[in-house]
Amino acid sequence: MILQVQEVSKRFGGLQALLDVNFELAEGQIMGLIGPNGAGKTTLFNVINGVYPPTEGQVIFRGEKITGLPSYEVARRGLARAHQVVRPLNDLTVRENVMVGACFGRERHSRSSAASLADQALTQVGLIDRADQFALSLNVAQKKRLELARALAARPYLLLLDEVLAGLNPSEIAGMMETIRTIRDQGFTILMIEHIMQAVMSISDQIIVLDYGQLIAGGNPQEVANNPKVIEAYLGDPEMTARLLAE
C-alpha cells in the first residue's frame, strides 16, 4: 500500500470537517475521491500532504508515518499535488515554475538538470511552446496543465490532483483525461478529486465517496454508482423522491 489513511479526523473549531476517515491506496492505481460540495475532500488532501495536521488519526505514506510533517517534508518524500484553485508563481516563467517542482521534489535536482526535466514535463502536458512566457499570461486551461506539469516534474510516487478538470471545456477535458491516463501508464499512483462524474467513473480503478466529512462508500466505479447511500448524498433519498412524486 502506498498510502494508508487511518481514522483521520479534522476539526476546525466547531466544524467537524473530517470524521474517522479510513482508506488505503495501492500502488499504480487511480483512485477517485468524490462527494458533494463541502464534503471535506480538499481538507482531506490538506491533511494528507501536511498543509495542516489532523486532529486525530494517522497518515502513512510508503510505510512511513507522515502525520503532522510540514508540507515541504511530505513533498520531499514523493508526494506532489496539483491545486484546485490554480496557484502559478506569476512572476516566474512557465519553465521556472515547473523547475521548482523538480528542484524541491523527491529527486531534488540541480538547477540545470531541473530545466531539462521541466521541459520533459511541459512536453507531456502540451505546454512546451509556452515555456518562456510568464505564468501570469496563461489562460485557465493552461494554468491547470501547468499545475499538473509542476507536480509531475517532482517525479512523485503519489500525485494528488484536486479538480484538474474543473473549468475546462469538453474538448479540453478529453485532452486532459488522455494526459492523466498516460501519466498513470508511466507508473504514477494518482488520487484525484473530481466533480465531473463521467470522467471520474471512466478513469478510476477505485472510488471513495465523502459526505459531511465521513466516508460513505468505496469500491470500483460500478459498485459506487449503484450504492443507494451515494445516490442519496447526491440526489436526496430516492424513496422519498418516489413518494413525493406519487403524491
Partner 1 sequence: MNLWRQPGFWPSFLLVFLSGLVVLVLRQDTLRETAFTVLMFIGLASSLNILMGYTGYVNFGHIVFFGLGGYFGFFLVSEMGWPVYLAALGGGVLSSILAYIIGAAVLRLRGAYFALATIGVNEAARAFVSNFEPFGGSTGLYVNFSAYDRYGGAGQALWFTFILLWLVVLAVIVVSYLVKRSRFGLGLSAIREDEDTAMVMGVNAPLDKTKAFLISAFFPGLIGTLYFFKNGNVEPDDAFRFQMSLEILVMVMLGGKGLLLGPIVGAFAYERLRGYLLTSVIFKNLHLATSGLVLLLIVLFVPGGGVGWLRERFPKLRRWLE
Binding residues (CB under 8 A) for partner 1: these are: 49, 51, 70-72, 75-76, 80-81, 83, 87, 89-92, 96, 99-101, 103-106, 108, 110-111, 114, 150, 154
Q: Identify which of residues 76 and 195 has a Cβ nearer to partner 1 in the complex.
A: 76
Concatenated DSSP letters of 29-85: -EEEEE-STTSSHHHHHHHHTTSS--SEEEEEETTEE-TT--HHHHHHTTEEEE-SS
Dihedral angle sign, alpha carbons of residues 221, 206, 182, 90 = positive
- Nine-digit cell string for 175: 485532452
Task: For the CB of residue 118, give the shortest distance to partner 1 in the complex, in Å.
Answer: 11
Task: For the CB of residue 101, give the shortest distance to partner 1 in the complex, in Å.
Answer: 5
Q: What is the DSSP letter of 53?
A: -
Task: For the CB of residue 192, give the shortest distance to partner 1 in the complex, in Å.
Answer: 16
Q: Identify which of residues 104 and 212 has a Cβ nearer to partner 1 in the complex.
A: 104
Q: Which of 126, 130, 97 is nearest to 114 (CA)?
A: 97
Task: For the CB of residue 236, give the shortest distance to partner 1 in the complex, in Å.
Answer: 36
Q: Identify which of residues 44 and 203 has a Cβ nearer to partner 1 in the complex.
A: 44
Q: Identify which of residues 96 and 163 has a Cβ nearer to partner 1 in the complex.
A: 96
Task: For the CB of residue 112, give the shortest distance to partner 1 in the complex, in Å.
Answer: 8
Is the Cβ–Cβ distance between 162 and 82 less than 8 Å? yes
Q: Identify which of residues 106 and 195 has a Cβ nearer to partner 1 in the complex.
A: 106
Q: What is the DSSP letter of 189?
A: E
Polymer length of the chain: 247
